[in-house]
Amino acid sequence: AQSVTQPDIHITVSEGASLELRCNYSYGATPYLFWYVQSPGQGLQLLLKYFSGDTLVQGIKGFEAEFKRSQSSFNLRKPSVHWSDAAEYFCAVADLNDMRFGAGTRLTVKP
């Protein structure tokens, strides 16, 4: 069965610093991969997705993610974090019928 692991429950970075959030998945074939962000009181917002093709995917708000098949990873990156990026980030893997989410990584941004 497909599964998603986000090893970091909570990450704190300083504003302006770079960010990398880790995501590992388990799936038999090439999955559909997603990163969503959830702010308090807000719905999940899609940052980016990977279906096929170029393994480096650009998303909204300056985020990017790289699909590495050999490592079963889909890590999210941002070169310079803004205070407004503080939120919960979820990695997800989907097949034909459902989507599985990781437990999430809470990002705190220090001024």
Partner 1 sequence: DTGVSQDPRHKITKRGQNVTFRCDPISEHNRLYWYRQTLGQGPEFLTYFQNEAQLEKSRLLSDRFSAERPKGSFSTLEIQRTEQGDSAMYLCASSLTREDTQYFGPGTRLTVL
Residues in contact with partner 1 by CB under 8 A are: 4, 32, 34, 36, 41-46, 49, 51, 90, 92, 96-104
- Nearer CB in complex with partner 1: 58/111: 58
Cα 24 from Cα 105, distance rounded (Å): 13
- Nearer CB in complex with partner 1: 66/95: 95
Question: What is the secondary structure of 54-110 as a DSSP string?
Answer: -SEEE-GGG-EEEEEGGGTEEEEEESS--GGG-EEEEEEEE-SS-EEE---EEEEEE
Burial of 83 (0-12, 13-18, 19+ CB in 10 A): exposed
Q: Considering the complex, what minimum distance in angstroms separates the CB of residue 104 from partner 1?
A: 5
Q: Considering the complex, what minimum distance in angstroms separates the CB of residue 67 from partner 1?
A: 16
- Nearer CB in complex with partner 1: 77/106: 106
Q: Considering the complex, what minimum distance in angstroms separates the CB of residue 96 from partner 1?
A: 6
Q: Considering the complex, what minimum distance in angstroms separates the CB of residue 92 from partner 1?
A: 7
Cα 103 from Cα 46, distance rounded (Å): 16
